[in-house]
Chains A and B, each alone.
Chain A
């Protein structure tokens, strides 16, 4: 049964997956802040990030960094496409929140099924970025992919902080999240910000997918579980707070890793979903309090 000497090792890998959940959670927040929409197609971006990179790298021999870049760009373009084709018409009609959720969930299914038809149902993976034996710190092994994940995530979080804090566009997006009408009156192109938010969010999802794929695998149907974990991260962090979402992701990753030790890998999703329900019932504003 559970061997508690594994705990430090388990926590370290929980930290890695937690970073990925955090990135996905930030993706939710970016769109939510720009529009008040919760995009349930977020998982499709994660899945496609890993999948497109795999197809380019393993089937067409494109070097890995280039394949990853192309994948991120392609998924960002898909994000804009979903915004234009699915979200925009509903947005213009002032459709209810529920209709928007259902439409994005349907978009998720469409992308999933197209992927299934294009590449089949076999799980795919990517090679680790740096193929060397893991670093040993005491009894704890730290793989190079984990360093990539944590380092990459932190770099992205820092870049986002700079983007939102320093650039004109980032500030404009924040203005939209505070008050869309006031932002529009200041001459900020709110609708273009919405498209940009989808592109940014999709790119974040794709990066998360590319980072995590070498340690697990990717298949057409991995999107929804990742999206749910990202959403839980966003809720735990206080919905609408990007950096709270990252923190929430770390917390969720650690909790889930412990749950795997305690109850077995099969119940890890049940554990994560139970965390979601607990937070929803007891503290829906998250540990940091909701953004509004």
Chain B
């Protein structure tokens, strides 16, 4: 049972020096990208978007110890709704993003209700199926999604005439979003809700005996996670200005799980650290593009076998398995 988060109350002390290290690392990387700009800024921007997604994944899988291989479905719903509404129907970005997130959460509620009753490999396969169905629909529903061609000409995030178009502007905006997400995750973890999730993670029977409505909390965590995923999907399409089905395919599942495990599942800083490391590493040998997914898969296997609690756990005194 090594992936379970600590079931004791979360640490209430202010951050120690060691606990601060992951945030320091993130600040240095983002700061560097901010100074250098250009390509480095683009890479770090993508990493921050992934960090939003993985933060949501971590809520459901780290805090509540549930399984979902299909969160990419909600990123796709958020992303495509944003893209279609802004590029094809002329909506401003912000309402489109909000509607995208709302729609993703609604879909999550509809599919989550029956799906979360499943356990074990049934749950794993059920959620994987949801992700794959969404992928197939984005490929096949060409009148709306334009299939593999994708949708281009998506406007950047902005209000009225004020648009965030520069590399640095996007980086600042995304950093703020990620900080807000991490803050929310930290608060959730210490809240009554977070403690309930951690009880569910420890033992569903015991949690039920304590009067926790397990099914309700699982569904809530799933919806929150879907909301984060949709936000990440929306951010992606507005930052890149283009979306195609491949963006939210199986590749995304593997990459985000690698990030979650590299950073440390069940920790607050883990998703951000994992997203940054996993995004930056392949850039150092960018010439080998075909080898990227290979490397992700191999790294994931090695981590699962030798460091199941991730790298961030090395910084945390509570991170022992």
- Do residues A231 and B125 form an inter-chain contact, with CB atoms below 8 A? yes
What string of 1s and 0s marks CB contacts (under 8 Å) between A201-229 and chain B? Answer: 00000000000000000000000100010
- Do residues A276 and B140 form an inter-chain contact, with CB atoms below 8 A? no
Dominant secondary structure at the B interface: helix
Say how far B67's CB is from chain A's closest CB, in angstroms: 5
What string of 1s and 0s marks CB contacts (under 8 Å) between A71-87 and chain B? Answer: 00000000000000010
Cβ-based interface call for A96 (8 A): yes
Q: Pick from A112, A269, A273 the residue with the most CB of B within 10 Å.
A: A273
- Do residues B297 and A98 form an inter-chain contact, with CB atoms below 8 A? no
Say how far A136's CB is from chain B's closest CB, in angstroms: 34
Cβ-based interface call for A116 (8 A): yes
Q: Pick from B117, B137, B296, B305 the residue with the most CB of A within 10 Å.
A: B305
Give every chain A residue within 8 A of B129 (Cβ-Cβ).
Answer: 228, 273, 276-277, 280
Given contacts A95-B304, A99-B3, A105-B254, contact A110 B124 (CB under 8 A): no
Give every chain B residue within 8 A of A97 (Cβ-Cβ).
Answer: 120-121, 124
Cβ-based interface call for A176 (8 A): no
- Do residues B301 and A106 form an inter-chain contact, with CB atoms below 8 A? yes
- Do residues B125 and A270 form an inter-chain contact, with CB atoms below 8 A? no
- Do residues B301 and A280 form an inter-chain contact, with CB atoms below 8 A? no
- List residues 104-148 of chain A with CB under 8 A from any CB of chain B: 105-110, 112-114, 116-117
**How far is B129's CA from A284's CA once the two chains are assembled, in angstroms?**
14
User: Which residue of B has the minimal Cβ distance to A277?
Assistant: B129
Q: Pick from B67, B121, B296, B304 the residue with the most CB of A within 10 Å.
A: B121
Which of A95, A224, A281 is B308 in contact with, Cβ under 8 Å? Answer: A95
- Do residues B118 and A284 form an inter-chain contact, with CB atoms below 8 A? yes
Which of B118, B120, B254, B294 is A114 in contact with, Cβ under 8 Å? Answer: B294
Give every chain B residue within 8 A of A89 (Cβ-Cβ).
Answer: 305
Which of B2, B125, B128 is A235 in contact with, Cβ under 8 Å? Answer: B125
- Do residues A276 and B125 form an inter-chain contact, with CB atoms below 8 A? yes
Say how far A118's CB is from chain B's closest CB, in angstroms: 10
- Do residues B304 and A269 form an inter-chain contact, with CB atoms below 8 A? no
Cβ-based interface call for B43 (8 A): no
Cβ-based interface call for B293 (8 A): yes
**How far is B125's CA from A61's CA once the two chains are assembled, in angstroms?**
40
**How far is B124's CA from A276's CA once the two chains are assembled, in angstroms?**
12
- List residues 63-77 of chain B with CB under 8 A from any CB of chain A: 67, 69
- Do residues A280 and B125 form an inter-chain contact, with CB atoms below 8 A? yes
- Do residues B136 and A107 form an inter-chain contact, with CB atoms below 8 A? no
Q: How large is the interface on A (under 10, 10 to 19, 20 to 34, 35 or more residues)?
A: 35 or more
Cβ-based interface call for B172 (8 A): no
User: Which residue of B has the minimal Cβ distance to A267?
Assistant: B140
Say how far A83's CB is from chain B's closest CB, in angstroms: 13
- List residues 262-321 of chain B with CB under 8 A from any CB of chain A: 290-291, 293-294, 296-298, 300-301, 304-305, 308
Cβ-based interface call for B122 (8 A): yes
- Do residues A270 and B137 form an inter-chain contact, with CB atoms below 8 A? yes
Say how far B227's CB is from chain A's closest CB, in angstroms: 22
Cβ-based interface call for B80 (8 A): no
- Do residues B2 and A103 form an inter-chain contact, with CB atoms below 8 A? no
Say how far A276's CB is from chain B's closest CB, in angstroms: 5
**How far is B292's CA from A114's CA once the two chains are assembled, in angstroms?**
11
Give every chain B residue within 8 A of A284 (Cβ-Cβ).
Answer: 118, 122
Give every chain B residue within 8 A of A98 (Cβ-Cβ).
Answer: 3, 67, 124
Cβ-based interface call for B1 (8 A): yes
Cβ-based interface call for B211 (8 A): no
Cβ-based interface call for A93 (8 A): yes
**How far is B67's CA from A262's CA once the two chains are assembled, in angstroms?**
34
- Do residues A117 and B291 form an inter-chain contact, with CB atoms below 8 A? yes
Say how far B215's CB is from chain A's closest CB, in angstroms: 15
Cβ-based interface call for B103 (8 A): no
**How far is B132's CA from A96's CA once the two chains are assembled, in angstroms?**
24
Cβ-based interface call for A101 (8 A): yes
- Do residues B114 and A281 form an inter-chain contact, with CB atoms below 8 A? yes
**How far is B118's CA from A284's CA once the two chains are assembled, in angstroms?**
9
Cβ-based interface call for B250 (8 A): yes
User: Which residue of B has the minimal Cβ distance to A38?
Assistant: B121
- Do residues A280 and B2 form an inter-chain contact, with CB atoms below 8 A? no
Which of B132, B137, B140, B290 is A113 in contact with, Cβ under 8 Å? Answer: B290
Cβ-based interface call for A155 (8 A): no
17 A-B interface contacts by CB (under 8 A) = A38-B121, A38-B124, A95-B2, A96-B3, A99-B308, A101-B121, A103-B305, A105-B254, A107-B301, A109-B250, A224-B250, A228-B125, A266-B136, A270-B140, A273-B133, A276-B126, A277-B115
Known: A105-B254, A273-B132. 5 other contacts (CB 8 A): A98-B67, A112-B293, A117-B294, A231-B125, A273-B129
